Structure 1
Amino acid sequence: MKSARHQAILHLIEKYPIDRQEDLLAHLRQEGFDVTQATVSRDIRELRLIKTASGDGTYRYMAATGNGKTAHSASRFETIFRESVIGVDYAGHMVLVKCFSGMANAACEVFDSRTWDKVVGTLSGDDTFFILMRSEEAAADICRQLQQYTAHRT
């Protein structure tokens, strides 16, 4: 029963923009699962669901991949990046991604959810996030790659 419920939860959060345990509980009950709030809370923890910002500023539960990163589709990455990022530039090993106010965390989170070559790590603020690269050449390369996803080219 637990396995079937977990599968149902993963299906529901993919299908609906569920952002609260109460909403997930209601959806599960509609699917025929007789569960309590405590069970839903435990399932969320066991499935390692996380809340992420959507492109429209709302939040929703998403499943994390095995490495702790959120699984996002390529189109979701593109949508959030296009809607959040003003420009991308680099200097030395650092890449600066300038975002609209309050959007850097969402853009950085979808960036981190993908696998990129030669990325050491990221650091996000309110309207900017930085990417530390292994070399200046790698910084220039990723800068070019990311610029294709921005509506506001630098």
Structure 2
Amino acid sequence: MKTGRHARILDIIAEHPIETQDELLTRLREEGFKATQATISRDIKDLRLVKTLGSDGKYRYVSASRSSTDIRTNFSNLFSTSVDSIDVAQNLVVIKTLSGMAQAVCAALDSADYPSVVGTIAGDDTIFIACRTADLAVSLTEELKKLI
């Protein structure tokens, strides 16, 4: 069931410009899949989907399973257009985004596989990044600030 749903999600985002989890959930339900918003959220993370800016100026989900160069480019584009500020407190990096963009930026950040990052948490407009040390948090902050 999960494998079939994952395959269909990849097909849906390839065929349609899906901007939100709700849109994806609606399409899946129309096709007979029984899922909740929490399930879709986990699927997005499992599939490593990220939001990228389309030629129409709207964000949409895409698969991050392309080359690492593509992932970094998509991350940089999303990051530069969605992040308002970055700050550091001990070993935590705090990123403020445009409203509703924190989860997309966080998923893209997770896909970028920064070795200094232990874990991330995203809300609506805020991301918390736990780094291994305070020095690594400062280094990550400096690196990320270059993207905005």
Normalised to the residue count of structure 1, the TM-score between the two structures is: 0.59
Between the aligned residues of both structures, percent identity stands at 27
Structure with the bigger percentage of helix? 2
Shift of 1:60: 3.1
Query: Aligned equivalents of 1:119 and 1:137: distance in 2?
Result: 12
* Equivalent position SS for 2:129: strand
**5+ unaligned residues in a row in structure 1: which ranges?**
1-5, 22-36, 39-44
**Counterpart residue type for residue 100 of structure 1:** L
Distance 1:51-1:117 versus aligned 2 partners, 3 A rule: closer
Change (3 A) 1:93 1:74: same
Alpha-carbon distance in structure 2 between the residues aligned to 1:87 and 1:107? 13
After superposition, the Cα gap between the structure-2 partners of 1:17 and 1:78, relative to the gap in structure 1 and judged at 3 Å, is farther
C-alpha deviations, 1:106-133, integer Å up to 9, x for none? 1111100011122110000000001001
Structure 2: runs of 5 or more not aligned: 1-6, 25-30, 33-42
Residue in 2 aligned with 1:119?
117
User: Across the two proteins, how many residue pairs are aligned to each other?
Assistant: 113
The reply to whether residue 89 of structure 1 matches residue 90 of structure 2 is no
| Pair 77,61 (structure 1): closer, same or farther in 2 beyond 3 Å | closer
Contact between 1:51 and 1:59, CA under 8 Å: does it hold in 2?
no
* TM-score, length-scaled by structure 2: 0.61
Look up the match of 2:142: 144
Q: Alpha-carbon deviation of 1:84?
A: 0.6
CA distance in 2 between partners of 1:73 and 1:51 (Å): 10
Could you list the per-position Cα deviations for residues 40-59 of structure 1 after superposition, in whole angstroms to 9, with x for gaps in the alignment? xxxxx9xx756543335543
Indicate the residue corresponding to 1:133 in structure 2: 131
Contact 2:96 2:102 in 1 (8 A): yes
